[in-house]
Chains A and B, each alone.
Chain A
Amino acid sequence: MELELPLVFFTVFTQMAVGGFIFLWWLGNRVPVLSLTGTGGSGAGHRPERPLLVLAGVQGLALVLSLFHLGQPLAAYRALAHLDTSWLSREVVLTSMFFASLAACALLEGYRRLTAAPWLTALLGVLAVVASGLVYMLPARPAWNNLWPVFSFGMTAWVGGMALGAFLLQGMPVTAGYQPAGGTVPVAAASEGGPGTLLTAPAGGEAGPLPNAIRQLLLAGLAVSLGATILYLSTLTGGGPEARATLGNIISAPLFWLRVVLGWLLPGLLLLRPRTDNRSKAVLLLVLVVLGELLGRAVFYGTVVPMGINQGF
């Protein structure tokens, strides 16, 4: 089984950075955790925004790791040459542009506060994930020749990005009762026991509606990811010999079952028990989800059966 580890890390980390950015942006519209949308927050001065800096670091690491897939890493720049038909060229361009915009958001106060900056960054990120999925939509790989690669990559962005975003916001103080244009958004019940943080209820308090919403959104992501995988695997039974062989490889791979436990069941159980300590929970959640997604991607690359001479005969 060829695990294609550089590609595994590149795709998963890229999707986590994209999902993490969209999550932080979405959250930034509700609570002043970031100065991303001009709502103030921790980046009031001219200093880099730490969560965005980490996301840019993850994305940068992903790009560096992708070079190890190539036989000639120093000639990687040539991959920009075939934008008219090659999805790989498009993926490289879009991912690089997303990285540039994300790094600018993290480092440049002026750029970050532009109304268009988060829109542009999120758009580039989504397009990069879609292009990345379309690289694998190949008639010669029947199990991939559908929208599954795009969809599953998007699910990694959702689940992995949210887990990473929730981890990055650990311990970040938020002002209870902050009032955006739409009205008061209670973050954590901070009336007693000092200020709450985004995912940590204050001493003696309960988590407010927003942490609950994040928890439910992440739980929904895990459920959709698991349900869609089951649906996808069931469609492979109706495919050609290569698709059926791929299905056999997946369900007989120990890594796949490890992925089921680490990436879906354990994070799901963890989220269903809201009263556990939130700080260690966010760390554990991130570790489990990242491990699950990495294993899932390794299974994706390692189990596919290509078309070939005498294949299926």
Chain B
Amino acid sequence: MGKRVLKALVLCLIALFFSGCWDYTELESLGFVFGAGVDQVEPDFVIYLEIIDSDGGGQETQFTPKVLSTKGRSFSSAARALSDTAGTSVFWPHVSVFLVSEEVAKQGVLPAIEYVLRSRLTRSTIYILVTRECTVEEVFKSKPFLANSVSDHLDGIIALQPILAKFYRVQIWEFVSHLTDSGIAVAAPTVQLVHESGELVPIIEGTAVFKDDRMVGWLDAEESQLFCLLQGMFQRPHIVMDTKIKEGVYPITYEMIGSNAEIKPTIKDNKPAMDISVELRFNVTEVGNAQINFQSEEEVGSIEEQLAHTFNRRIKDLLEKLQDEYNSDILGFGRLLKRKEPKVWRRYEDIWDSYYPQLAVNIEVKAFIEITGLYSRPVVVRD
């Protein structure tokens, strides 16, 4: 342990302490962005950020969201300019939702989200949303009832997807991976504003359907649910179906407690086709005044048949819309074909766009009623 070792040690420490703190920041100098959005891409980017302004240290703290917007030739230049208006350094990693306006989606979504993907400051787990019949600004300036900020509100709704089952949720990394993959088109949930007790409240309902990076149309809540079902997402929606019981027709509510959807590419007459087989399991949640005897195999079988039939028809309608109206392969039929039958796919790869609408799809749905709530028999009113 000579003086040389000591000197070396001191030099090491100096190197450490003088070079170390290069990305040292103090929390209070950061403006935390919760949500971001792009309202316009051409000729200039117009971006909106929801920043949290926290007031008062110590025991009682108030959080007020502030919406800032700027213009710029590119997303990043606009984002930098925002630091100027905000007066703090804008901190991106806590962004949870990214909104794209309808116009931008129609023109092509890629330029709007490219920065979000490339930047090291934003997370790839951000949820992407498309505004429907409103602008990003209107959404951010609306007043959610309970949540602190619009972004929190939207994030909360997204977390409820399995029970709401009204939209298809997608994080930006998956969105982009679908965008760059052949044989699958992208879809994103849509934000709408509804009037509620005199306030405009943002809700998430329905799904925006894209072709390449351009939006071509919408799916409503029910169609979105079926789309998620076919994508194999876990969800427990309540389904109200007018069910024929003996002679009467009653609105009965069923809760989907499990589903299994399988899409299999097949070759028929040397042409690719799709086999969709769906298995649904239900819990009967509300019967109303319908007198159903759940002990009777016949009656339950009839209900199961009606459910299967309904779902079969709904899926058929959805596929018709996707194939004929939008010509958008958001279910990824092409990708499945590519995986299972690569040789066939090679022949169809270039003409997939024109072949997709005429793709034959065979749908088979099975439904089972497994639980009938806490009661196994109907509630009968007697004198």
* A and B associate: no
Interface residues of A (CB under 8 A from B): none
Residues of B within 8 A of A (CB): none
